[in-house]
Amino acid sequence: MANLTLLKVFNISYNLFQGNFPGEITLGMTELEVLDAYDNDFTGSLPVEITKLKNLKHLSFGGNYFTGEIPESYSEIQSLEFLGLNGIGLTGKTPLFLSRLKNLREMYIGYFNLYVGGIPPEFGSMSELRVLDMASCNVTGEIPTSLSNLKHLHSLFLQLNRLTGYIPPELSGLISLKSFDVSNNELIGEIPQSFSALQNITLINVFRNHLYGAIPDFVGDFPFLETLHIWGNNFTYELPQNLGRNCKLLYVDVSENHFTGLIPRDLCKGGRLKTFILLDNFFFGTLPEGLGECRSLERIRISKNLLNGTIPAGIFSLPGVEVIEMHDNYFSGELPSEASGDTLGFLDLSNNWISGRIPPAIGNLKFLNILFLEMNRFTGEIPNEIFGLPSLTKINISANNISGKIPDSISRCTSLNAIDLSRNNLSGEIPKGIAMLSVLGTLNISQNQITGQIPADIRNMTSLATLDLSNNNFYGRIPTGGQFQVFKDSAFAGNPNLCSPGNVSCRSFVDSAQSSGHGHKKSFSSSKLIITVIVLFTALLLIIVTVYIMRNKRLQKSRAWKLTAFHRLDFKAEDVLECLKEENIIGKGGAGIVYCGSMPDGVQVAIKRLVGRGSGHSDHGFSAEIQTLGQIRHRNIVRLLGYVSNKDTNFLLYEYMPNGSLGEMLHGSKGGHLQWETRMPVHQSACPQSRAPMATSHQTWSIWELIFNCIFSRRSNVVVFTEYAYTLKVDEKSDVYSFGVVLLELIAGRKPVGEFGDGVDIVRWVRKTTSEISQLSDAASVLAVVDQRLSGYPLSGVINLFKIAMLCVEDEASHRPTMREVVHMLTNPPQSAPPLINL
C-alpha cells in the first residue's frame, strides 16, 4: 500500500482492525488528504510517520484503544483542517502544541482521554477553529478568556470535566457560537449579562454545576434557541416569561433548581417542543392551557413543585407523548374525560388533590405501562377499562376514596407485576381470576373492606413475593402450602374473622361465620340482654354522679389565677392583677386590651388581655401556641414572658416597648424618620433564612402589632404570626395575605384601613391607583404608591418588594405563593445595580 502515491482518501473506519496501526504504509502516500481509521480496535502508540503527509487535511483515529500521549510532531501537519483523537484513552499534559495548527477547523481531543492540566490559553490563537471538543478529558482550572478570540467558533464542548471558576463574560465575543456545553463541571456564578450578544445560539447546556442567580430575560429572546438544559444548579427567581415566544424550542429541562413563579405560557408557541422538564422546583400557579394542544410533546415531567389548578384538557390525547409525570403537586379538580394518546407509556399523577372518578378513557391508552394515581381524592369505582390495557405492568391507586369491587377484568391484565389498591373503601371479594396473573410480584389491597375467603389458588402464584391483605374483613382459614409459606403473618393482620391454619377451633368458627350470611352477626340470649341493660344503667348513673362532682370542683377552682412563666420572673399573678386599671391602658384592639404594669422589682410589663380565651377553652391548641411563642428568641420579636390565666381569661405578659409601634413609626409623627434603609430590614428579617444586616432595633415593635416574624423550619412551611396566635386560627395562605398587607404598608407608608374611604383598604387602593396609570410599568406603579416621605431608595429593590406584596394579596388563596416561596423571593432578589431615587 505504500506504493499508492496518488491516493487521496484512505478510509478504513468502522471495522475491526487490531494491533498497532502500520504507519509505514502511509510513507508513500504523498498525496493523501484523508486518513480515517475511526472506530476500530487499534492499540499501541499513535503513529508518527503520518507527520510526513504534507497534504493531509483530515485525520481521525478516534474510537480506538491507543495509549500514551499525542506526539508533539503532529503540530507539524500544517495542512490539517480536521483532527479527531477523541475516545482513545490518551494521557499526558494537555496538548498546547496543537495550537500551532493554524488551519485547523475542527478539533476533537476529548472523551476518555485523561489529560493533566487545564485548557491551554494558546488555543485562543487558532483563528480558523469552528469546533473545539474537549469533553470528558479531565481538564481542570478555569475557562480561558482567550477563547473569545475564536470568531468563527460555532461549537464549544467542555462538558464532563473538572472546570472551576466563572463562565467568562468575554465569551460573548464568540459571535458565531451555536452550541455551548459546559455541563457536569464545578462552575460557579451567574450566566453573564454579556451573553445577550450570542444571537445565533441554539444549544445551552450548563446543567450539573453550581451556578446561581436568575436566568436573564434575554435568553427568551434568542431567535434560534432549541435546547435549554440548566438542571442541577442553584438558579433562583422565575423563568423569563417570554421563553419560547421568539424561538422554536425543542428541549427544556430546568429541574433541581430553586425556581419559583409561574410557568411561561409560550413554551410551545413554536410548535416543536418535545421535552418539558421542571422537576423539583417551587413553581406555582396553573399549567398553561396551551400544553394540552402542544402536539409535538413527548415528555412532560413537572413533579415536586407547587402547581395547582386542573390538568389541561387534551394532555392525555397528545399523539406523541410518552411520559406524563406530575406527582407531588397540588393539582385539583377532575381529570380530562378524554384520553387517546397512542404512545403514552408512563402516567404518574400521585400525591395531588385530584378528585372525581377515574376516567374510563384511560383504558384507551393501549401502550400504557405504568399508572400511578395514589394519594389523591378519587371516588367511584375502578373502571373495568383500565384492566383491559395489554401492556400495563404496574398500577397504584392507593390512598384514595375508591369504592365498589375489584373488577373481574383484572385477570385479563396478564402483564401486571405490581398492584397496590390499599387504603381505599373497596368491598366484595378478591376476584378468583387474580391467580391467572402469572408474573405478579406484589399485591397490596390492605386497609379496605374486602370480605370473603382468601382464594386458595394464590398458593400457585410462584412469582408473588409480597402480599398484604391486612385490615380487611376476610374470614375463614388462611390457605396453606405453596406461596403461602413465603408470606409473613403481618400480611393477614387486622382481619378478626381469619383464623390461622394451626387453630383447632377454626372449623366451627368458619361454619358459624358462613351460616350468618357472612355478616358476622351474633344474637344475644334474653338473659344476656337483661344483664347488659342493668350494667349499662349502673354505669350511666355513675357517670352522671362523677360529672356532677367534677363540675363543682372546677367551678370552685375557676377563679384561681395561675402564672405560667417562660423566663425567670420575680413577681406573682397577684402583682399582675393589681395593674389592671383604667389609667394603665395603653392600647385597645379587636383582639383585646393592653395595659402597662409596673412590677414590685421596678420592671415594666405589657399585659394583653385576650378576649374569649380561657385556659379551660375547648381549643387545646392554646397551650401549644403560647408555649411556641414563649420559646421564640429573635431580635425582631418582642419576648413573651409568660401568661396569667384562670378558666375564663388569659393575660399575656410581654416586655414593655417604650418607643412605640411600627404603626406609630410609619403613620405617626415619627414616620418621616423611618427611611427605606430602616424599613428594609423589617421585612428582610421576617424569617431566619434572611442574611440581610439589621439596621433597626426593638423600638419599631410593640405588642399590639404583628410580631412580623415566622417560625420556619426545614420540616414545615407553617407560619405563625401573633395576630393568629391571639385568635388561634392559623392558616398559611391567610398569613401570606397578611404579610403582603404589611409589605404594602412599608412601601406606601399608609395604614391598612381607614385612610381610603368606606370599604376601601390598602390593597384595593393600590390596585385602583396603579390601574389608573396611563403608561403602565413596574416603575410607574411603584412611584404611584410609594411613600412620598422616602428618599434615596433603590427603585428596583422596591419594585421587587412590590411584586412580592401583590402576589401575597391575590384574592384567590390558591394563587398566592406559600411562605417558603415568599422567603425565597425575598432572599434571592434579581441581581442588578439599581439607581437611587431621590424625591
Q: Residue 713: its pLDDT value, please?
A: 28
CA 812 to chain centre: 22
Q: Are 603 and 675 within one domain?
A: no
Three-state DSSP at 352 gives coil
Domain match, 811 and 774 both? yes
Alpha helices in 151-305 (DSSP H): none
- Kindly state the DSSP code that residue 132 receives in the 8-state scheme: E
Confidence at residue 165, expressed as pLDDT on a 0 to 100 scale = 95
Residue from 412, 456, 461 nearest 441 by CA:
461
| Dist CA 377 CA 244 (whole Å) | 34
- Residue 692 within a domain: yes
* pLDDT value of position 629: 62
Q: Is 190 helix (H, G, I), strand (E, B) or coil?
A: coil
Q: 540 and 588: one domain?
A: no
CA distances (Å), 737 to each of 329, 485, 763, 812, 815, in order? 21, 58, 10, 10, 11
Give the separation between CA 310 and CA 361, rounded to whole angstroms. 17
The pTM of this model reads: 0.63
Q: Do you know the residue count of the chain?
A: 839
Supply the CATH number for residue 616's domain. Answer: 3.30.200.20
Question: Given this model, what pLDDT does residue 532 score?
Answer: 66
CA separation for the pair 536, 534 (Å, rounded): 5
* 671 and 694 fall within a common domain: yes
- The domain in which residue 592 lies consists of 562-655
Q: Read off the amino acid at residue 109.
A: I
C-alpha cell at 530: 337483661
Does some domain include residue 787?
yes
In a domain, 23, yes or no: no
For the chain (839 residues), the mean pLDDT of every run of 10, in chain order, is 81 93 86 93 92 93 92 94 92 93 95 92 95 95 95 95 96 95 96 95 96 94 95 93 90 94 91 94 90 92 94 90 94 90 92 94 92 95 92 95 94 92 95 90 95 92 93 93 89 91 53 46 48 74 73 54 81 88 76 82 84 46 58 60 83 76 58 60 43 30 33 28 33 70 85 71 86 73 82 76 87 76 73 42
Q: Which amino acid is at 615?
A: S
CA separation, residue 286 to residues 64, 241, 265, 821 (Å): 51, 14, 10, 16
Tell me, yes or no, whether 394 lies in a domain: no
Q: Which of 602, 631, 655 is the last residue of a domain?
A: 655
Question: Which residue is associated with the grid cell 434615596?
Answer: 792
Domain count of the fold of the chain: 3
Supply the pLDDT for residue 314.
Answer: 87
**CB atoms near residue 758 (< 10 Å):** 5
Q: Give the residue carrying C-alpha cell 389548578.
A: 309
Between strands 640-645 and 650-655, the pairing is antiparallel
Q: Tell me the C-alpha distance between 278 and 664, whole Å.
A: 45
Residue burial 229-258, b: 16+ Cβ < 10 Å; e: rest: bbbbbebbbbbbebbbbbbbbbbbbbbbbb
Predicted confidence at residue 705, as pLDDT, reads 36
Distance (Å, whole) CA 500 – CA 480: 9
Which amino acid appears at position 150 of this protein? L
Same domain, 735 and 641: no
SS3 194: helix
Task: Say if CB 293 and CB 317 are below 8 A apart.
Answer: no
Cα distances (angstroms) measured from residue 756 to each of 114, 771, 818: 71, 16, 29
Residue 784 confidence (pLDDT)? 85
pLDDT for res 786: 85
Give the residue carrying C-alpha cell 373497596: 426
Element (H, E) at 807: helix 795-808
Residue 621: CA count within 13 A, CB half-sphere: 10
633 is a domain residue = yes
- Residue 264 falls inside a structural domain: no
Given 504, 534, 557, which residue is the final one in a domain? Answer: 557
DSSP secondary structure code for residue 166 in this structure: B
Do 725 and 801 lie in a common domain?
yes
Rg of the chain over all Cα atoms, to the nearest angstrom? 37
Domain assignment present for residue 776? The answer is yes
Q: Which of 623, 655, 687 delimits the end of a domain? A: 655
One domain for residues 551 and 581: no
What DSSP string describes 16-59?
--EEE--GGGGTT-TT--EEE--SSEEEESPPSGGGG-TT--EE
Q: For residue 751, what is the domain's CATH number?
A: 1.10.510.10
Where is 323: in which H helix or E strand?
A: strand 323-325
Q: Is 227 helix (H, G, I), strand (E, B) or coil?
A: strand
Phi, psi of 356 (to 5 degrees): 80, -170
Residue 596: partners with Cβ closer than 8 Å, 6 or more residues away: 579, 584, 586, 604, 605, 606, 607, 656
Residue 614's pLDDT is what?
Answer: 46
What does the pLDDT read at residue 535? 72
Q: 689 and 794: one domain?
A: yes
| CA atoms in the 13 A half-sphere facing the CB of 262 | 18
Same domain, 757 and 683: yes
Report the pLDDT value the prediction gives residue 792, as an integer from 0 to 100: 66
Q: Render 622-683 in DSSP notation, one character per residue.
A: HHHHHHHHHT---TTS--EEEEEE-SS-EEEEEE--TT--HHHHHHSTTGGG--HHHHHHHH
pLDDT of residue 673: 55
465 CB neighbour count, 10 Å cutoff: 14
Task: Judge if 547 and 611 occupy the same domain.
Answer: no
Note whether residue 436 is domain-resident.
Answer: no
Query: What CA–CA distance (Å, rounded) separates 171 from 192?
Result: 9
- Cα separations (Å) of 108 from 73, 105, 133? 17, 10, 5
Nearest to 9 by CA among 42, 53, 44, 41: 53
Contact 109, 134 (CB under 8 A): yes
Same domain, 699 and 772: yes
User: Are both 532 and 578 inside the same structural domain?
Assistant: no
Distances (CA, A) of 831 to 236, 259, 339, 807: 11, 15, 44, 20
